[in-house]
A and B are shown apart, each in its own frame.
Chain A
Amino acid sequence: MLGLATKDFVLLLVVAVLCLFAPVLLNPFPETSDLAQFNAGYPDLMQRFVIFGIFAIGFNILFGLTGYLSFGHAAFLGVGSYSVVWMFKLLNYNIVPGLLLSLVVSGLFALAIGYVSLRRSGIYFSILTLAFAQMSFALAYSVLTPITNGETGLQVYGNDPQYLQGDSAPNIPHLFGMTMRATETVEFGPWLWQFNAGYYFCAVVMLIAFYLAIRIFRSPFGMMLRAVKSNQQRMRYTGLNPRPYTLAAFVISGMYAGLAGGLMASMDPLAGAERMQWTASGEVVLMTILGGTGTLIGPVLGAGLIKYLENILSKINDNILHQWFAFMPDGLEDFLVAIVHPFIGKGWHLTLGLVFMAVVIFLPGGLVEGGQRIGRLFGRKKPAEAEAKAAAKTPAE
């Protein structure tokens, strides 16, 4: 189906269904319950899930297949955001021209950075990409202020030309008139479901990106990239120059990042230089490794987990903790709150760090490997049961 093997098509279908029902699935707790704060089904967060999913899928094409660890992918994210906001400023609030421009600009940017960085491999490559990204970040903050609006961040002002802006067109980002902020809220008993246009647009883009990634993974090109990771020496002595392959992978993954950045700015028409900072580059590395490097679905899961922890854990504060532990004696309550305190609110990075360490040590293949192990656990029981049954039958015969 769609040029995919059955297994891959099923995976794509599952992801599509999950995306479609995410506003319901991510809101499992009724609004009135105490657990409602664990609900992730609000538009802003769901948009971030899929946008960072795209970012991580693209990063995985480079890191997962070729093994080249880029520490500068945030630069493409930033470039994509700036492209979109500039299109808002110059043309109108329709997001299509901006997204197309973000693909083109981030692709060219990736071509330039990749051409230089890919002369080296291993740690030197990582450092080169990091240097380029930090350079872009610093430039965006200072010298390039006319283009990036420096510390304030690039945004649309009333006196911007917006040559194509019609009188009746919405004054916020939209797709041919459908605004990204448009949200249909459905109340179902105590549940509250928000169906947001922006989220669904991003989800569709992510599904396309995911589909393309599957095709790349399963294509001869994907096989070449895995060959690059496996043994460059053999590749050269087989008559293949690894450079064009790695460069193509770098550009593709840069364009994915640019698209993700463009979508971010499409949801919220603001682009700041901090989007290019090295912490953002590091985050996508964490997402990919956490989810499962080189797997199809892993990066999306990793992106989801990190964004969930970031948004949900950081919202829990001491007052909420006191409520939770209220049933305990006072001394014990304070003690427990004091213990949990460093892991929540601003301390969510500590939790993330611990989760990351646990995954890398116990599940080197990431969440996907965890899923496979659980699957095998159940899979192994079945033959064992069958054997037991067979053994039970034999004496009777």
Chain B
Amino acid sequence: MGILEVKGVNKRFGGLQALGNVNLSVAENTVHAIIGPNGAGKSTLLNCLVGKLIPDTGSVMFDGQSVLGRHPHEINQMGISRVFQTPEIFGDLTVLENMMIPCFARRDGSFRMHAFEQFSHERELIDKAMHMLEEVNMAEKKDMHSASMSRGDKRRLEMAMCLVQEPRLLLLDEPTAGMARADTNNTIDLLKEIKQKRDITMCIIEHDMHVVFSLAERITVLAQGTPLVEDTPDKIKGHPKVQEAYLGEAAH
């Protein structure tokens, strides 16, 4: 029984069957990649996991509890964090302030006023945030205005914001999209390091085969809304169906 169990999920947009009978099981403490050509339904599937979309049929269980019908913030509180394809950070805030928001969210869960506490007095949380920033090599940028940073930095900040919440499942939507090769390799190393240091399950949606094969322990191939195969990277590489649906197409 995996930490994330997707069973028989269907999602239709008008006449388009975006997801057709998707079954997926992500084992705890593994890196699971979901690949597939454009329009295969990868992002739709991810949106169904975090509460942005509700599947027409089927079930999504996280750690034995259904996530369906819960609000995104409730799903996050269950222990699922998400890194977006285009970094979603608080652009008006500094890097450290960006980190503080998830720290507060983790501490308080639901709404609390703390209108007369002082930001600078939250020593414990600031230390926690700084520690995480050091892990992603951004400690010296803590007072930078986050909107003015490079895309790679924004992505690292977003990852740090997700990780500081100590999620049990981290969903990454194309974490290396639009990055140069060197940046991509840095991201791969960073993700490996992150994985080593803690018990965390990662679910990665990715286009870049290089990233997928360097990180994933299991791969699910999605094509036209249905899973084709699920296996280890080595087996996937040589799988004829995959060659046809994905790698073959990419080789053109």
By a beta-carbon cutoff of 8 Å, the part of chain A in contact with chain B is: 3, 5, 215-216, 218-224, 226-227, 229-231, 233-241, 244-245, 248
- The B104-143 residues at the A interface (CB cut-off 8 A) are 104-106, 109-111, 113-120, 122
| A248 x B101 contact (CB < 8 A) | no
Complex CA distance for A222 and B104, rounded to whole angstroms: 12
In the complex, identify which listed stretch (B25-33, B70-78, B235-243) lies at the interface while the others stay far away: B70-78
The verdict on A220 contacting B77 (CB below 8 Å), with A235-B101, A236-B71, A245-B111 known, is no
Query: A222 CA to B113 CA in the complex, in Å?
Result: 9
Give the interface centre of A218, A221, A237, A245 by most chain B CB atoms within 10 Å: A237
> Are B119 and A218 within 8 A (Cβ)?
yes
Chain A residues lying within 8 Å of B119, measured Cβ to Cβ, are 218-220, 223
Taken together as a complex, chains A and B put the C-alpha atoms of A227 and B118 apart, in Å, by 16
Question: B115 contacts A219, CB within 8 Å?
Answer: yes
Q: Which residues of chain A are within 8 angstroms of B165 by Cβ–Cβ distance?
A: 238-239
Which residues of B lie under 8 Å from residue A216 when comparing CB positions? 115-116
Q: Beyond A231-B89, A240-B73, is A219–B111 a contact (Cβ under 8 Å)?
A: no
In the complex, whether B93 has a CB less than 8 A from a CB of chain A is yes
Contacts of A219 in B (CB 8 A): 114-119
B213 within 8 Å of A (CB atoms): no
Tell me the smallest distance from the CB of B174 to a CB of chain A, in Å: 16
How far apart are A12's CB and chain B's nearest CB, in angstroms?
15
Q: Smallest Cβ distance from B18 to chain A, in angstroms? A: 21
Q: 15 A-B residue contacts at CB 8 Å?
A: A215-B116, A218-B118, A219-B117, A220-B100, A221-B115, A222-B115, A224-B104, A226-B93, A231-B91, A234-B88, A234-B158, A235-B73, A238-B76, A238-B101, A239-B165
- Bin the interface of chain B by size: 35 or more
| A234 contact set on B, CB distance < 8 A | 88-90, 158, 161
- Cα–Cα distance between A234 and B93 once the two chains are bound (Å): 13
Given contacts A230-B92, A231-B89, contact A238 B161 (CB under 8 A): yes
The complex places the Cα of A143 from the Cα of B113 at a distance, in Å, of: 38
- Once the chains bind, are A239 and B77 in contact (CB under 8 Å)? yes
Which residues of B187-210 have CB atoms within 8 Å of chain A's CB atoms? none
B106→A239 contact, CB < 8 A: yes
The docked-state distance in angstroms from the alpha carbon of A216 to that of B117 is 9
A residues near B105, Cβ cutoff 8 Å: 238-240
- Residue from B50, B97, B116 having most chain A Cβ neighbours under 10 A: B116
Check if A3 sits within 8 Å of B118, measured CB to CB: yes
Complex contact A230–B93 (CB within 8 A) = yes
Q: Is the CB of B72 within 8 A of A223?
A: no
A235 and B89 CA atoms in complex are apart in Å by 9
For B50, the chain A residues whose CB sits under 8 A away are 237
| B93 partner residues in chain A, CB cutoff 8 A | 223, 226-227, 230
Task: Tell me whether A241 and B73 are in contact (CB under 8 A).
Answer: yes
Given A222-B115, A236-B71, A241-B110, 5 more A-B residue pairs with CB atoms under 8 Å apart are A230-B91, A230-B92, A234-B158, A236-B73, A238-B76
> Which of the residues A221, A237, A240 comes within 8 Å of B113, measured between beta carbons?
A221
